[in-house]
Amino acid sequence: MQVVEKSNEGLSRVIAVTIPAAELTAKLDARLKEVAPQVRLKGFRPGKVPVSHVKKTFGRDLMGEIVNTELNQSSQKALDDAKLRPAAPAEMTMVSDIEKVVAGEADLAYEMSLEVMPDFTPADPKALKLSRPVYEASDEDLEEALRELAGQAKSYEDKGGKVPKAADGDQVIIDFVGKIEGEAFEGGTAEDAAVVIGSNSFIPGFEEQLKGVKVGEEKTLKVTFPETYQAAHLAGKPATFDVKVKAVKAAKDAEINDEFAIRLGLESLDKLKELLRQNLNQQYAGAARFKLKRALLDQLDAAHDFPLPPKMVDAEFDGIWRQVEADKAAGRLPEEDAKKSDDDLKAEYRKIAERRVRLGLVLAEIGRANNVTVSDQELNQAILAETRNYPGQERAVLDFYRQNPGAAAQMRAPIYEEKVCELIFGLAEVTDAPISKEELLKDEDEA
Ramachandran bin of 235, using left for φ above 0, alpha for ψ from -120 to 50, beta for the remaining angles: beta
pLDDT at residue 275 in the model? 96
Mean pLDDT, residues 58-74 taken together: 92
DSSP 116: B
φ and ψ of 387, to 5 deg: -65, -30
| pLDDT, tens digit, 9 for 90 and up, residues 292-341 | 999 999 999 999 999 999 999 999 999 999 999 999 888 888 888 988 99
- Per the DSSP assignment, residues forming a β-bridge with 183 are 180
- In this structure, the answer to whether residues 235 and 281 fall within a common structural domain is no
pLDDT at residue 444 in the model? 62
Percent of the chain with pLDDT over 90: 74
Is 121 contained in some domain? no
pLDDT at residue 406 in the model? 85
- In this structure, the answer to whether residues 12 and 79 fall within a common structural domain is yes
C-alpha 168/C-alpha 112 separation (Å) is 68
Give me the CATH number covering residue 365: 1.10.3120.10
The mean predicted confidence, pLDDT, of the chain is: 92
- In this structure, the answer to whether residues 242 and 272 fall within a common structural domain is no
| pLDDT, tens digit, 9 for 90 and up, residues 101-111 | 998 899 999 99
The C-alpha angle with vertex 229 and arms to 223 and 231, in degrees rounded to 5, equals 105
- Whether 446 shows a pLDDT value over 80: the answer reads no
Is 415 contained in some domain? yes
Pairing of strands 129-134, 429-434: parallel
pLDDT at residue 51 in the model? 80
C-alpha 248/C-alpha 195 separation (Å) is 10
Classified as helix, coil or strand, 425 is helix
Mean pLDDT, residues 150-168 taken together: 88
- Whether 404 shows a pLDDT value over 70: the answer reads yes
Confidence band of 409 (pLDDT split at 50, 70, 90):
confident
From 57, 90, 115, the end of a domain falls on 115
Q: Where are the alpha helices (DSSP H) in 123-226?
A: 139-152
pLDDT at residue 445 in the model? 54
- In this structure, the answer to whether residues 182 and 214 fall within a common structural domain is yes
Which secondary-structure segment (H or E) carries 302?
helix 269-303
Confidence band of 447 (pLDDT split at 50, 70, 90):
very low
pLDDT at residue 180 in the model? 94
Domain extent, residue 165, equals 155-252
- In this structure, the answer to whether residues 306 and 351 fall within a common structural domain is yes
Give Cα 386 to chain centroid, integer Å: 9
From 196, 221, 252, the end of a domain falls on 252
Among 25, 54, 59, 24, which residue's Cα sits nearest to residue 37? 54
| pLDDT, tens digit, 9 for 90 and up, residues 262-281 | 988 999 999 999 999 999 99
- Point out the least confidently predicted range of 185-189, 319-323, 328-332, 431-435: 328-332
From 226, 252, 278, the end of a domain falls on 252
Domain total in the chain: 3
Give me the CATH number covering residue 187: 3.10.50.40
Contact partners, residue 105, CB within 8 Å, separation at least 6:
21
Is 447 contained in some domain? no
Mean pLDDT, residues 186-190 taken together: 91
Ramachandran bin of 169, using left for φ above 0, alpha for ψ from -120 to 50, beta for the remaining angles: left
C-alpha 137/C-alpha 276 separation (Å) is 10
Is 132 contained in some domain? no
Comparing 152 with 385, the larger pLDDT belongs to: 385
C-alpha 247/C-alpha 194 separation (Å) is 9
